[in-house]
Structure 1
């Protein structure tokens, strides 16, 4: 059974320039929520419960070979008759392989861009002109967590998944070592938010992350929290 290893993790956002500027593109939507339970980020059925179901598949420049998994964007459509000026906040959980739109949203997120009683109206549009920008995610009572995957096989294989990464930076490298040791071994991004290694240290583990700013953070994992 999978477990969650929980810890507090402070990230200082270094996002500047185009990370925070407004982009203009188009967005479509998935007609079935189940499409988001097999996304390229590897969240599986858990994805449907993230961000109140306001989810999105992003094009490769947003997916970033998996580093963009879990990133949040404020997105609104340009049709002022149908859509509100507030828009909605979406979380990237999948790769959009169709470059006709920057995003394919869950139908719930797509409808959330609408003015009152206009949700069905924007669904009928199918594709909308939108503008968006990267924003911090909002996770209530959650910190960055590491989930040990069911595919892990002690003692020779460890696969983990990063959850609740709510900042405006990405984890681009990851190392693992036994707690108290300086003998670090690298982990590889298997896909999306999933990292793995076949060289697993014995005992309690510590992980070291490199984020987009090039800053290293080390975290010791000494306690387990129920899934």
Structure 2
């Protein structure tokens, strides 16, 4: 997605319904996609895989839409749905014990953005912040020893809240392995109050 959708990485993992405006070629349902990277091309908002691009088409029109290459689209953010799947933490290959830890978040549900992550040893209240490295990857050069817990600041619209995953990584965590956080995120974005009148009548 473009920078306004990617949001310096906070939009990575966001889900959208996209449909093209040509009713002859395209269905009104369109297709659902997930933002996975930033698009530096200012000529288009989304770069879709061939399969996703063709999925916008009416039955039998996939090759016709593909020949166009680009189409006018409309889109809206929708909740990501990962049935019976908790938020997962993948330890990236760049992680180096004992201090450097890089994680990627997977299966982030709802219409949410994770805007901050802290990490601590299980049972400790000595939290270290992690920084966004890129996209859904967060890292720290001050990883605690032992089994690790995480807390996430999750926003949906204007509201933010802490979600605490009490035991995520075992003390012997391994690079390239995906660990279940034990928490599900499924909040739906709330609309802000625009032109609200709080005056007494």
TM-score (norm: length of structure 1): 0.71
Partner of 2:39: 96
Structure 1 position 199 matched with structure 2 position 161: no
CA RMSD, Structure 1 to Structure 2 (Å): 1.6
| Alignment CA distance shift 1:104-1:223 (3 Å) | closer
CA deviations over 1:81-137 (Å, ceiling 9, x no partner):
000111000011111111111111111100000001100000111111111100012
Match of 1:80 among 10, 23, 36: 23
Change (3 A) 1:107 1:168: same
1:184 matches 2:127: yes
More helix by share: 1
CA contact (8 A) 1:179 1:206 kept: yes
Question: Which residues of structure 1 form unaligned runs of 5+?
Answer: 1-57
May I ask how many residue pairs the two structures share in their alignment? 170
Residues 156-205 of structure 1: CA deviation (Å, up to 9, x unaligned): 11111100112111000110011111111100111111101111111111
Bigger RCO of structures 1 and 2 (CA < 8 A, at least 6 apart):
1
Change (3 A) 1:217 1:188: same
* Contact preservation (8 Å) 1:72, 1:166: no
CA distance in 2, matches of 1:137, 1:189: 21
Are the counterparts in 2 of residues 205 and 221 from structure 1 also a CA contact under 8 Å?
A: yes
Q: Which runs of 4+ in 1 moved over 4 A?
A: 222-227
Give the drift of 1:140. Answer: 3.4
Instruction: After TM superposition, give the deviation of residue 223 of structure 1 in Å.
Output: 6.6
CA distance in 1, matches of 2:104, 2:169: 17
